[in-house]
Amino acid sequence: MPAHTIKSKTLLTVFKGIIAQDDVNENDVYQQIQSYLTLTPFYVKLFMFFSLVYCNLLSVVTNQKMIYSLPGNKVAVLLNNCEKHFIGRSIIMLLKLICTLVYFDDDKHAERIGYRHLVHCK
Amino acid sequence: MIYTLKDYKKNYKNIFDADVCIIGSGAGGAVAAYELAAIGYSVVVVEEGGYFTTKDYDGKPLNNMKTMWRQAGSTVSFGIPPISIPTGKCVGGTTAINSATCFRTPEHIIKQWKENFKVDIDYKSLEPYFERVENIINVTELPWDVLGNCAKIVKRGADALGLHCKPLKHNVKNCKGCGTCQFGCAEGAKQSAEISYIPLALQYNTSLLTHCRAEKIHFKGMKADSVECRVYNEKGESVASCTIKAKIIVCACGTMITPLLLKKSGIKNKHLAKHLQIHPCSRVVALMEEEVNGWVGVSQGAYIDDYADEGIMLEGIFVHPSILAASLPGVGKEFFELTKQFSHIAAFGVMVHDTSEGAVFGNMHTSFSWYMMNTKDIQTLKNGIAYLAQIFMAAGAKKIFTPISTFPVISCQDDIEKLKQTYLMRSQIPEVFAFHPLGTCRMGGDSDCGVVNSYGKCFNTDNLYVADGSIVPTSLGVNPQITIMALSTRIAGHIAEQLNN
């Protein structure tokens, strides 16, 4: 179970903060994100790492707690506040893209927004 | 013959001999391979990625990005804003993951090449090449039903404003509009290079080496003598090496890689790996009253070129929800509520005919680039976004989401007017993409103007050619697929003449 490290806990908290859905298999999500990131170049991995550090730093400054110790509603507020300036928005954009990429890859999740993979082209 | 991983002799130097070695199997390489093989020359095509067919496509972006996109789709140009530049790494190159949009090179652009870079090409002389390419890849106009509802909505808005929204031409056969163009055409309708040109080339004396990365070109004096390659498995481990000896070597690895390979091989030119132009793009997303189901229909259906004089091209861009959803504002419940309305979401893109220039760095494994959008291009992009918002407003959008951080949501005409008046800073638009990198080995009349001559031949070499987007001297203002293919056909003709002599 990878969800014990600061990195994995932060990543999963951010994931849940962005998607706000309970039916997430943490192991699957974490492994999917990691398997994607291993294929990316060093600068993407570095930016991802920096993004998670940034979320935690912001959380410590504003709430005196690491982001994974915050309740769900406070995580959402924190991430929402990030969107207001360039660096934060760039970070949230990357995190959001990785989250939606993994979440909606699942047929069950895609169906929730009315999308069914390849059905419409038959 | 197609070499897959199992066909190489492991831990052994595989040696190939051919008349022509072509590095890359995309829009440039595949075309050159077919044209030369068809007239009797032996050809070896070296491709870093794998050979994927419709059975490999599940319509899900994540899997296909991992296997078919270079660096899993995370190729980025640094600068403010950083710009994502996805390119293909598979047989067919970027043609396997593009939107199948086809435009001929605008005549005035070719004139500029002649005037500014002494390129010896005119529109008239390129016409037969355009026609040949368009026949082979079946460039066709699709009915509006296949172009999708996004295109129809934008047309409605454009009509109301007196603009001209026209259907784009696509290289497809029997396209039903499954909308998965960027992740490998699941219908097999897109006539990308691995469906059209590569099978044609394989009918002749052509060997296609997949999973094989060219590492260096070796020279004997001015003559390119052989290409040193390594074979990598899916994990990225080197499992074999290859040497390809050829009379002519053609670099067609794409704008981001070709200059790096040439540099590593010892080519020196002040323009090499510079003058990168990319057509920066962004998108506008609109929440409509009506059901859109934007995923039904081709992802890039229509275009508006009324603002071409300002350097703006508006083109369709509806991609899979797992990517487009990230464009919606907010996080958490607010964000997810919006994604639930995805069937009511329409999207369209803005593409800038850029005047900014960048450069490419890195190596063949990890390439990246530096590209800082200049003030003019930033304002052009902003104007394009404002025009598009206006069109969506005229089409009856409830809400419009822009990529501009100070105008994330537009819901009335006043907002659009304010946006038009705003002077946009680079840092206010973090969401910029680019799909058409060009110009890093540009053509020129001599080595003071460019890296290669008007026939793609590298200056100061006897037999090294470049045939991909990197030779296109300037950005085009339109999608470059046909331009690259036509230039490659022309270059192949010249190579045949050299081989004959």
> Which residues 368-397 of B are in CB contact (within 8 Å) with A?
368
What ipTM score was computed for the predicted complex, to two decimals?
Answer: 0.90
Residue-wise pLDDT tens digits, B145-160: 899 999 999 999 999 9
B162/B156 Cα distance (integer angstroms) = 10
Interface residue B405 vs chain A (CB under 8 A):
yes
Distance from the A66 Cα atom to the nearest Cα atom in chain B, whole angstroms: 18
B368/A45 Cα distance (integer angstroms) = 14
Write out the DSSP string of B217-276: EEEETTEEEEEEEEEE-TTS-EEEEEEEEEEEEEE-S-TTTHHHHHHHTT---TTTT--B
Mean pLDDT of B426-447: 92
What pLDDT does residue B284 have?
96
CB B386, CB B284: distance < 8 Å: no
| Number of domains present in the structure of chain A | 1
> Which residue of A86, A95, A98 is the best one to mutate when testing the B interface, meaning the one whose CB has the most B CBs within 10 A?
A86
B248/B19 Cα distance (integer angstroms) = 6
Tokens of A9: 């806990």
Residue-wise pLDDT tens digits, B7-42: 887 767 789 999 999 999 999 999 999 999 999 999
In this predicted structure, the answer to whether residue B175 has a pLDDT above a threshold of 70 is: yes
Query: Which residue type is seen at B178?
Result: C
Q: Look at residue A101 and tell me if it is in a domain.
A: yes
DSSP code, position B89? -
B51/B42 Cα distance (integer angstroms) = 21
In this predicted structure, the answer to whether residue B239 has a pLDDT above a threshold of 70 is: yes
Output b/e per residue, B37-52; b: 16+ Cβ within 10 A: bbeebbbbbbbbbbbb
B201/B19 Cα distance (integer angstroms) = 14
Number of C-beta neighbours around residue A19 at 10 A? 25
- Domains of chain B, by residue range, sit at 2-139+183-271+440-500, 143-175+276-434
| Lookup result for tokens 């970027």 | B94
In this predicted structure, the answer to whether residue B235 has a pLDDT above a threshold of 60 is: yes
DSSP code, position B457? B
What pLDDT does residue B366 have?
82
Q: What is the largest CA-CA distance in chain B?
A: 70
Residue B89 C-beta-side C-alpha neighbours within 13 Å: 27
DSSP code, position A63? H
Average pLDDT in chain B: 94
Q: Look at residue A1 and tell me if it is in a domain.
A: no
Superfamily, domain B143-175+276-434:
Glucose Oxidase, domain 3 (3.30.560.10)
What pLDDT does residue A84 have?
74
Write out the DSSP string of B13-38: EEEEEEEEEEE--STTHHHHHHHHHH
B493/B499 Cα distance (integer angstroms) = 10
What pLDDT does residue A121 have?
62
Query: Which residue type is seen at B83?
Result: I
- B428–A18 C-beta distance less than 8 A: no
> Which residue of A100, A106, A111 is the best one to mutate when testing the B interface, meaning the one whose CB has the most B CBs within 10 A?
A100
B27/B482 Cα distance (integer angstroms) = 8
Mean pLDDT of A51-73: 92
pLDDT category, A122, cuts 50, 70, 90? low
In this predicted structure, the answer to whether residue B456 has a pLDDT above a threshold of 70 is: yes
In this predicted structure, the answer to whether residue A3 has a pLDDT above a threshold of 60 is: no
Residues on chain A touching B296 (C-beta within 8 angstroms): 120
CB B181, CB B100: distance < 8 Å: yes
Residue-wise pLDDT tens digits, B304-348: 999 999 999 999 999 888 999 988 888 888 899 999 999 999 999
What pLDDT does residue A61 have?
92
Interface residue A108 vs chain B (CB under 8 A):
no
Owning domain of residue A74: 6-121
Provide the H-helix boundaries in B141-195: 144-147, 149-161
In this predicted structure, the answer to whether residue A2 has a pLDDT above a threshold of 60 is: no
- A80–B332 C-beta distance less than 8 A: yes
Phi, psi of A28 (to 5 degrees): -60, -50
Tokens of A91: 């970070």
Report the top-level CATH class of B2-139+183-271+440-500. alpha beta
| Lookup result for tokens 């355009």 | B130
Closest CA to B243 of B225, B270, B258: B225
Interface residue A3 vs chain B (CB under 8 A):
no
What pLDDT does residue B501 have?
84
Tokens of B383: 């104007």
In this predicted structure, the answer to whether residue A120 has a pLDDT above a threshold of 80 is: no
